[in-house]
Amino acid sequence: MSQLKNPPSLGDEYLQNPHDLSARLRAEGPARPVTMPDGVRVWLVTSHAEARALLTDPRLSSDGVYDRLEYARQLAEGKKIEFSRSLAAHLLNVDPPDHTRLRKLVNKAFTGRTIARLRPRVEEIADELLDAIPENEPVDLIPAFALPLPIQVICELMGIPADDRGRFAGWSGQMVSTAAPEEIGAASEAMAGYLAGLVEGKRAEPADDLLSALVHASEDGDRLTVPELIAMTFVLLIGGYETTVNLISGGVLSLLREPAQLAALRADPGLLPNAIEEFLRFETPNNMASPRFTKEPVVVGDVTIPKDELVMVSLLAGNRDAERFADPDRLDITRPTGAHLGFGHGIHYCVGAPLGRLEGEIAIGRLLERFSRMELAVDPAGLRWRSSTQMHGLEALPLLLRH
CA distance 304 to 297: 6
63 or 77, CB closer to ligand HEM? 63
CA distance 217 to 203: 12
Residues 72-91 that bind ligand HEM (CB under 6 A): 91
Determine the Cα–Cα distance for residues 257 and 143; give it in Å rounded to an integer.
21
Verify binding: residue 397, ligand HEM, rule CB under 6 A.
no
Residue 350 interacting with ligand HEM (CB under 6 A): yes
Binding mask 146-185 for ligand HEM (x = CB under 6 A): --------x-------------------------------
Q: Helix (H, G, I), strand (E, B), or coil: what is residue 290? A: coil
- Residue 342 near ligand HEM by CB under 6 A: yes
Q: Does 247 bind ligand HEM (CB under 6 A)?
A: yes
CB proximity list for 223: less than 8 A, separation 6 or greater: 105, 216, 217
Return the range that interacts with ligand HEM (CB under 6 A); candidates 23-31, 295-303, 317-325, 347-355. 347-355
Cβ proximity of 74 and 80 under 8 Å: yes
Secondary structure class of 180 (helix, strand, coil): coil
305 binds ligand HEM (CB under 6 A): no
Taking the complex as a whole, the smallest distance from the CB of residue 2 to ligand HEM amounts, in Å, to 28
Minimum distance of ligand HEM from residue 372's CB (angstroms): 26
What phi, psi does 288 have (nearest 5°)?
Answer: -110, 140
Closest separation in Å from C-beta 360 to ligand HEM: 6
User: CA-CA distance, 83 to 38, in Å (whole number)?
Assistant: 16
With contacts defined by CB under 6 A, name the span among 130-138, 237-245, 320-328, 329-337 that binds ligand HEM. 237-245
Per-residue binding letters, 103-122, with ligand HEM (x by CB under 6 A): x-------------------
**Count of residues of this chain found to bind ligand HEM when the rule CB under 6 A is applied:** 27
Q: Indicate whether 392 belongs to the interface with ligand HEM (CB under 6 A).
A: no
Among 352, 389, 397, 401, binds ligand HEM (CB under 6 A): 352
What is d(CA 264, CA 148) in angstroms, rounded to the nearest whole number? 28
Q: Which stretch binds ligand HEM (CB under 6 A): 12-20, 79-87, 141-149, 350-358?
A: 350-358
The CA–CA distances, whole Å, from 1 to 114, 130, 296 equal: 52, 50, 28
CB of 50 to ligand HEM, least distance (A): 15
What are the residues whose beta carbons fall under 8 Å from the beta carbon of 336, sequence distance 6 or more? Answer: none
19 is a contact residue toward ligand HEM (CB under 6 A) = no
Among 18, 29, 240, 328, binds ligand HEM (CB under 6 A): 240
Contact segment (CB under 6 A) with ligand HEM among 74-82, 132-140, 188-196, 238-246 equals 238-246
* Residue 360 DSSP SS3: helix
CA separation for the pair 67, 83 (Å, rounded): 9
Minimum Å gap between C-beta 148 and ligand HEM is 14
As a whole number of angstroms, the distance between CA 364 and CA 207 comes to 31
Q: Which is nearer to ligand HEM, 243 or 294 (CB)?
A: 243
**236 makes contact with ligand HEM (CB under 6 A):** yes
Give the residue, chosen from 289, 312, 363, 401, that forms a contact with ligand HEM under the rule CB under 6 A: 289
Q: Where are the beta strands (DSSP E) in 53-108?
A: 60-61
Q: Could you give the C-alpha distances from 173 to 45, 82, 165, 387, in angstroms and in order?
A: 25, 17, 12, 11
Three-state DSSP state, 399: strand
The CA distance from 67 to 86, in Å, is 13
Could you count the other beta carbons within 10 Å of the beta carbon of residue 197?
11
**Single-letter code of the amino acid located at 181:** P
CB of 142 to ligand HEM, least distance (A): 15
Q: Which is nearer to ligand HEM, 236 or 253 (CB)?
A: 236
Query: For residue 145, what is the DSSP state?
Result: I
Backbone angles phi, psi at 335, to 5 degrees: -70, 155
| Residues between 360 and 389 with contacts to ligand HEM, criterion CB under 6 A | 360
Does the footprint of ligand HEM cover residue 243 (CB under 6 A)?
A: yes
Q: Which residues bind ligand HEM (CB under 6 A)?
A: 91-92, 103, 154, 235-236, 239-240, 243-244, 247, 280, 285-286, 289-290, 315, 342-344, 348, 350-352, 355-356, 360
